[in-house]
Amino acid sequence: MKQRVLSGVRSTGNLHLGNYFGAIKNFLEMQENYECYFFIANLHALTTHPDPELLKKSVRATLVEYIACGLDPEKSTIYVQSDLPEISELYALLNMLAYKGELEKCTSFKEKIKKHKENINAGLLTYPVLMAADILIHRAHKVPVGKDQEQHLEMTRNFALRFNHLYGVNFFPEPEAFDMSGHLVKIPGLDGSGKMGKSESEGNAIFLREDADLIRKKVMRAKTDTGPTQPNQQKPDEIKNLFTLMNLVSKKETLQFFEDAYNNCTIRYGDFKKQLAEDIIQFTNPFKEKISALENDTKYINNIAESGAEKARVSAAKTLDAVHEIMGLKSIWK
Ligand code: TRP
């Protein structure tokens, strides 16, 4: 039997190159070898009270982008979190096993309450319980997550073990982090910082649906130094970052040409960036085209979401039914 892999993505839409090389490419590989569940986490988004219409729009945009990147509804089960009411019910049941103290100790909770003092709601506190419900509803074995989610995954393991122990069953497997470090590519930002991200400075990230002119602008504005003065000199971070990007999107010869130019101090950053911008445009073009084709095919996208939810609910209902049985919520009136 294939192991089950599960991952949730935030419903923010607007994937950038960092998301693509850092996570999505791994998802594409996993689809070939595991029973995969991928979903859009729109319930988690509610902690910050988004506008309902905007929330719907970003869920659709996120789904479109993931499909455009190659998530395949034939190979994986792809769905929207709120289309599975079983998740919300398991969340309510797991809340009975989650202690206030451990939830308050969670790093992401502590950070969030510092940032949003005016909106410290119970959903924020129990965010890790909802995430545990996401994972345990399919009794997943492996969860590909970044470092920032490791603590949440550890809490999921605690809830799973506690459930098994309390009810004397061996029902939930302990989900482990899918170690992506072997193939994890860290994508640098354009502002000289180590990481491409949406919340970093303006112009730091390049989105898959980015307009060609904006790509040119962003790349041309990327930070550079005054240039190498000695042959084979070490590259400062901001230059290394641009070379890392070029390595991902350009032809080998192009990369080699500019490596050589750097090493013999003849590199002209203007030309280098122009070439990088054109190669990023080439690379993102097919994504852009797929995204806009999918956006115009509402029927197809709706169909993916509907059949994904239907498929996911089979597995979710099975788990929930067993949980009902174990917790004494079934066959009360016989
Ligand atoms: N909390 C995750 C994030 O912020 C998203 C998420 C929600 C998730 N539920 C999940 C990830 C279940 C993995 C498994 O990125």
Element (H, E) at 136: helix 127-136
Distances (CA, A) of 288 to 21, 112, 184, 281: 16, 34, 24, 10
Å from CA of 274 to ligand 1 middle: 37
Residue nearest ligand 1's atom 8 by CA:
8
Ligand 1 atom nearest to 44, measured from its CA = 7
The predicted pLDDT at position 239 comes to 95
Sorted by where each begins, the domain ranges of the chain are 4-187+298-327, 212-292
CB 77 within 8 A of CB 27: no
Mark the ranges of the chain whose per-residue pLDDT is less than 70.
180-184, 200
Alpha carbon distance 70, 25 (integer Å): 9
Burial status of residue 107 (CB atoms within 10 A of its CB: 0-12, 13-18, 19 or more): exposed
The predicted pLDDT at position 145 comes to 84
The predicted pLDDT at position 178 comes to 87
The predicted pLDDT at position 184 comes to 60
Model confidence pLDDT, tens digit, residues 115-159: 999 999 999 999 999 999 999 999 999 999 888 899 999 999 999
CB 76 less than 6 A from any atom of ligand 1: no
The predicted pLDDT at position 187 comes to 86
The predicted pLDDT at position 182 comes to 63
The predicted pLDDT at position 120 comes to 96
CB 279 within 8 A of CB 254: yes
Alpha carbon distance 63, 79 (integer Å): 9
Sign of the C-alpha dihedral computed for residues 229, 230, 231 and 235 taken in this order:
negative
Q: Does the domain formed by 212-292 have CATH 1.10.240.10?
A: yes
Torsion of CA 230, 233, 238, 241, to 10 degrees: 140
CB 273 less than 6 A from any atom of ligand 1: no
Assessment of whether the complete model's pTM goes beyond 0.95: no
Could you tell which of 26, 44, 77, 82 is best to mutate to test the pocket of ligand 1, judged by most ligand atoms within 8 Å of the CB?
44
Q: What is the CATH number of domain 4-187+298-327?
A: 3.40.50.620
